[in-house]
Amino acid sequence: MTTYNHNVKLTVVASTVSLVLFGLVGCNSDSDDNQTTKDNAYYQAKAKAIIAKMSSDEKMNMLIGPGYDMSTFTINSAAVANLKSSVDGAAGYISGVLNSDAGVDVAAAVLADGPAGIRISATRENESGTFYATGFPVGTLLASTWNVALAQQVGAAAGNEAKEYGVDFWLAPGMNIQRNPLNGRNFEYYSEDPLVAGAIAAAVTAGSQSEGVATTIKHYAANNSETNRMNVDNIISPRALREIYLRGFQYAVETAQPWALMTSYNKLNGTYTSQRADLVTQVLRDEWGYEGLVMSDWFAGDDPVAQLKAGNDLIQPGGVNFANGGNYTDYLTRVKTAYSSGDLSDDVIDADATRILTQMLKTTTNQGVGGTNNPDLNAHAKISKQAAEEGMVLLKNNAALPISSGKKIASFGIAQINTLKGGTGSGDVHSAYVTSIADGLGKQFTLDATLKDYYETFFAANKQETTDAFGVSTIVTCAEAEVSAADITSYAANNDVAVITLGRNSGEGADRTNTAGDYQLTTLETELLTNVATAFHAQGKKVVVVLNVAGVIDTAWKDKVDAILLAYMPGQEAGDAVADLLSGVANPSGKLAQTFPANYTDVPSASSFNGIDSDSDGKVDTNYYNEGIYVGYRYYDTFDKAVSFPFGYGLSYTSFEYKDAQVSANTLNSKGATGSVTLTATISNTGSVTGKEAAQVYIAAPAGTVDKPAIELKAFAKTAALTAGASETLTFTIPAKWLASFDSANNQWIIDAGTYQAYVSPSSDVAAITPVTFSVSEKIVVSDTTAGALALPDGISTADFETTFSK
Ligand code: BGC
């Protein structure tokens, strides 16, 4: 059983154990380094002792990255102090310090992206070896596994690659809430729900940090669109922030203590997130107990002194910030000037530098571990494939799947050749290969050779290669190939089943659009679906659609076809994972971590996304989060909006029965804020093949101090692989803290008194589930929060912009 248990601390400093034993670089190591269990306090004490020996210039040098050459998209590694070994394609460095007079030798640290695997250059000048990294499934697909143990394995595999390639800080995972399907970076993120986002991020963090690599949860906070992302001001009520946009970060921090966190580009209620002390100090550190370092996103914000004072310890990538058209003085110079004038105190630079150094001392370079440049890519490919298979979601299956291996398949769609392993930008990975869907299918079925040849020839003749705006990804595009209705009829005659693969890319720096070719199908795609369905159905043959997409697309066409497999962007093993699921070698067990609405216009933020141009300068500058806490299923369920596929939904080739749901313990009344509710339910495989089931617990809270969504996900767990007839009893624990709602009027997390209904359900569609109940006799104040934190800008109140929805 893999279960997300809120009570289990995933802190893993202690499990870096043997890695820590050898050779803390330089003269700061002492016999204490041989202890096997070290917590943050141990490294903090070491850091403080080192900081006491450092000059103010050395400390400030650690706070600001080395600078960036925008013409070549490379980091100025020559400016990094005490760099032991540079890594081509790294996103940044943290300067170390070498001062033999003072007896200090701290090696610089290496920082590399990104959420689907370690993004470094695959080749290096004057070096014959290669440095490929495993392309794992994108974040959304990983979350759709609902399998925290598997997410932890992916984190450990990526962390191991970081370690072996000499990377100290992994700039992942991305865990912003998928507020709207058109956010260009949704593929990097996990879910519309903060529990899923937080639990998966915590697991990935635990995995990576078990390898001694710092994990950097990002982008804190409310980075939910890409349009004018470096300046847009997101106006969000404190309650929506607390319950939706910060909640996942809180889970990850309190459960796994990531060693690093990256603030976001956007402003929040009037101020850049990296410059808000309430966000990065009061809430993150004082309320949640965060121990790690905080770094800026690359070129974020406009005032390094304000960033450092707020508690954003590290500013990347340093040099000149181009946010103001490059019209800023070099950041290090600005910081040094502020220090000389007394505007920046020793207390601030000491606190920031201590937090940075504390984490640097834990990581690979300063521990003298890893660095073989030879990770086990074959083992990691298997983990990538398993994650891809467990995350893909079977959305529809009208007796079309699985397809038995002897069958002849007519495989349509250019994305079967131009298969997308992931999105573009810093979330891309330089993997050694990507198995296309056509190649994967070809290993298990007989593909119509004429049709395959047609697509391959078309692709070779029409593909176009460009580089993304950041010089990071090579983007290969190709128009959809047209197949005539007459040809489709003959393919229907000569084959047993049709598979149509539709593709949609997305990337950093731009949002998607609700237009044909993006959220909507093109005319050509619609014709392809219609003509294939007509011709194959006329012969009594099935049509299967595979969606190789970055995120939600329109599915109003779903009735035309017999089966839909949502493959998202599955990483380098794409084709083999799709083939395993279509053939039944693997049984689908992924479930949606995001809703597929009936129409884009049903999305509660559809009318406000992605902001307004309030000063009419041609750029979006303000983004009012009009839907408040009603994001995703919280909206659709509360206001009875029909959806195409609900949150939490996914089919299997077997069937499951949920039995004996019960509340096995309720200590909320005896223990209050430290109490919890525990539920159990037995899941039985009532079908004929082995399968896993992700069970979810949704809570309907009683009316009380604050209005609440009809249901909220409060726990989930996935069974082990259950053979036909086998059962497993799952246990779900919900601590008071995660049951609570935020009462803005009183700055408190509270649990209202009354009867709570708990639905143990296969999806967020709980209509047919009989709930079990538990009671809270008196209102519980779970915690007080910082008064005035995260406030709306002066003169704006929640009522000015939040919509009052009705059924
Ligand atoms: C992205 C971050 C990334 C950083 C370094 C930024 O543009 O927003 O997610 O980690 O670049 O590449």
Residue listed under structure tokens 């900081």: 51
Q: In the prediction, which pLDDT does 324 show?
A: 63
Closest approach atom of ligand 1 to CA 172: 10
% of the chain exceeding 70 in pLDDT = 95
Domains in the chain, ordered, with CATH? 40-367 (3.20.20.300), 381-595 (3.40.50.1700), 654-800 (2.60.40.10)
Residue 641 tokens read as: 């909006």
pLDDT value of residue 323:
64
The mean pLDDT of the chain is 94
In Å, how far from its chain's centre is CA 56?
Answer: 37
The answer, yes or no, to whether residue 23 has pLDDT greater than 60, is no
595 pLDDT higher than 60: yes
Per-residue pLDDT, averaged over 279-302, amounts to 97
User: For residue 126, what pLDDT is reported?
Assistant: 85
> What integer is the mean pLDDT of 348-368?
97
pLDDT at position 72:
75
**Shortest-distance atom of ligand 1 to CA 470:** 7
Q: What is the pLDDT of residue 28?
A: 37
Q: Which of 105, 193, 297, 554 is catalytic?
A: 297
Find the 298 Cα to ligand 1 centroid distance in Å.
6
Active site residue 297: yes
CA of 114 to the centre of ligand 1 (A): 8
Residue 157: phi and psi, rounded to 5, are: -65, -45
The pLDDT assigned to 35 comes to 30
Structure tokens at 517: 């070719």
- d(CA 433, CA 194) in angstroms, rounded, equals 33
Q: 467 — phi, psi (to 5°)?
A: -110, 145
The mean pLDDT of 709-730, rounded to a whole number, is: 98
- Judged against a pLDDT cut of 90, whether residue 34 lies above it is answered with no
pLDDT at 330: 87
Q: Which atom of ligand 1 is nearest to the CA of 113?
A: 10
Residue 448 has pLDDT above 60, yes or no: yes
Instruction: Return the DSSP state at 281.
Output: I
**Cβ partners under 8 Å of residue 45, min gap 6:** none
Ligand 1: which residue has its CA nearest to atom 3? Answer: 426
Q: Give the mutation target among 120, 167, 171, 217 for probing the ligand 1 site: most ligand atoms within 8 A of CB.
A: 171
Is the pLDDT at 730 greater than 90, yes or no? yes
Find the mean pLDDT for residues 538-563: 98
Give the Å distance between the CA of 506 and the centre of ligand 1. 15
Q: Dihedral, CA atoms, 473, 197, 556, 522, nearest 10 degrees?
A: -10
pLDDT of residue 325: 65
Asked if residue 7 has pLDDT above 60, the reply is: no
pLDDT band at residue 12, thresholds of 50, 70 and 90?
very low
Q: Is a pLDDT exceeding 70 seen at residue 17?
A: no
pLDDT of res. 13: 34
Looking at residues 292-320, what average pLDDT do you find?
95
- Among 644, 761, 645, 751, smallest CA distance to 693 is for 761
Q: Pick the residue with more confidence: 186 or 69?
A: 186
Atom of ligand 1 at shortest range from CA of 426 = 12
Using CA positions, which residue lies closest to atom 11 of ligand 1? 298
pLDDT of the residue at 473: 79
Give yes or no for residue 113 CB within 6 A of ligand 1.
yes
| Mean pLDDT value of segment 564-578 | 98
Ligand 1 atom with the shortest distance to the CA of 509: 7
pLDDT at 16: 31
Q: For the residues 763-774, what does the mean pLDDT come to?
A: 98
Residue 8 has pLDDT above 80, yes or no: no
Quote the percentage of the chain above a pLDDT of 90.
90
* Joined tokens for residue 363: 């990581």
Q: Is the pLDDT of residue 31 over 80?
A: no
Q: What is the pTM of this model?
A: 0.95
655 C-alpha to ligand 1 centroid (Å): 42
Residue 14 is predicted with a pLDDT of 32
Q: Which of 110, 113, 230 to mutate to test the pocket of ligand 1 (most atoms within 8 A of CB)?
A: 113
Residue bearing the CA closest to ligand 1, atom 9: 426
Q: Candidates 297, 315, 468: which one to mutate for ligand 1, based on the most atoms within 8 Å of Cβ?
A: 297
Strands 497-504 and 408-412: parallel
Query: Is the CB of 218 within 6 Å of ligand 1?
Result: yes
Whether the predicted pLDDT of 744 surpasses 60: yes
